[in-house]
Chains A and B, each alone.
Chain A
Amino acid sequence: MGMNETAASRAEAVRNAIYRACLFLDDGKFKEWLTLCAADFSYRIKTYSPEIRKEMTWYEQDWSGLSKAIEMLPLHNTDHGRLTRHATVYEVSLDPSGSEASATTSFVCYRTMLDGINAHLDAGETQLFLIGKYHDRFRFGAEGPLFTERTVYLDTRRLDKGTHYPI
């Protein structure tokens, strides 16, 4: 971003990146999602367990690990549920240096079933799947902010069948 960009427009660019990521993820366009992420991107899904009273990391990958996992998705059995996110960026903080930023976004992820458990009954029903926060970090490059870190911090801990798709 040019030196004349204001703080407001930088923050706006961060919000746009987060929402663009949601649109790609909703459509299952995981490769396109990764283009929003820097080469040193690290991604993790975390939550706290009140049962074992510990923080847990349920998933952790770097850019190339994610890229490989995404490539292999079609080789895995799935229930073909469509995950749709509803996100609101609550806070954007710009580092004093102007070259980095962080953001906290609240999200709700719904699942609209296709196979479901029994497709004849379940297909088309939308259920609440997950709620949580995205904690993201960005680096500003020539073309705008790139994700360097995403921590998906889940409130929901009962995922039942679960999913292979990045959240």
Chain B
Amino acid sequence: MAWKRLCALGDVAENALRKFEVDGVPVVAALVEGEVMAYPPLCPHMAEPLEISGICDGGTLTCTKHLWQWDMKSGGELGLAEKPLLLYPVKREGDAVLIDIEQELVYDYD
């Protein structure tokens, strides 16, 4: 476990992915029903940058390139998605958001 500071609570947006870098590891994060969720920055399909092409709406993330969708709380596939979103462990410490980036999460793109 390597908890590092991701950002301040006010730095994440409801319903929009923002990109951060923690010790050189890129992640994207958003506020989903009051909880901060963090994921690898690229789409598991073909590596599209999610902070550019992702749309969040009511807890559903859609990558607008090929319309893969996921439940943002669980990372589970919805609609056309063929792979789940991977989730980083995240916790709050007062106003700060911490993330465990000991293991950088990377999708297998074949």
A adjacent to B, CB under 8 Å: no
